[in-house]
Amino acid sequence: MDGRVATLDCRVGLGDVRPDSTQRLDAIARTVQDVADLDYATLGGTGTVTGAGTAVDGMGMWILRRLTLDIAHTPRMRAECRARTWVSGIGARWIERRTDIEAGDRAAIAATAIWVHVDPVRRSPAPIPPGFAPVWFPVPDGRRISARLRHPPPPAGAVRHGWPVRATDVDVLGHVNNAAYWAAAEEELARRGSPRVRAAAIEFGGGVEPGEPVEAVYADRDDGFGCWLCVGGEVRASMTVGCGP
């Protein structure tokens, strides 16, 4: 962690939890995106951030490509949490960002995300500006960061349900916010009796736009289940959820 490190203190609220008071996956994903946004929003300004703080010319938008969650301990309602994030890898048009979340004095969640740098006008991947690395990733470690999608397509015979897009799912960019997709996984967790989630991952293809007819597809895995959100047979996002004691 030689570049910037951003810290966000937050509290697990009533709207973040399941009936058993454990924090939902969509609420965890919101924390991950909020602390990343804090990092960029406080560049050259104020906020709980350590490291250099000067403006970076040519910065575009960041679109989530993949997020993996390793959940050692699930925060519960009213837990005081602290999320710390930093850039842990860099490629030509994307970065890897690590986020660690503590609940009280316990290590709770380790999140690893791939964010793609996007031109705000063309809405296509764009080279990361030269000023980015000196601020966020000044000491490259030589690792190759890939933005390739890994999840397989849904299997034949998978269970399918309609998945309505709500107005509250749409964010400032005019598309379904990355945290909202986890609601489809939470529906399946509820159908399965809300088992303990130990790991989860989401990948994004094209994303979902408001008004599109979305189908949620579910299939069993050895450790839990997979979930795909499809429009016209095209996979727009996919999730894996691993459950255990």
Nearest to 10 by CA among 48, 41, 50: 48
> Do 88 and 207 share a structural domain?
no
Range of the domain at 183: 159-243
> Do 110 and 9 share a structural domain?
yes
* Residue ending a domain, choose from 136, 169, 185: 136
Tell me if 152 is assigned to some domain. Answer: no
The per-residue pLDDT for range 20-52, each reduced to its tens digit, is: 999 999 999 999 999 999 998 887 644 454 554
Tell me if 171 is assigned to some domain. Answer: yes
> Do 164 and 101 share a structural domain?
no
Helix axes 25-41, 182-191, angle to 10 degrees: 160
The per-residue pLDDT for range 170-198, each reduced to its tens digit, is: 998 888 999 999 999 999 999 999 999 99
Burial class (CB in 10 A: 0-12, 13-18, 19+), 59: middle
Q: What CATH number is given to the structural domain containing 62?
A: 3.10.129.10
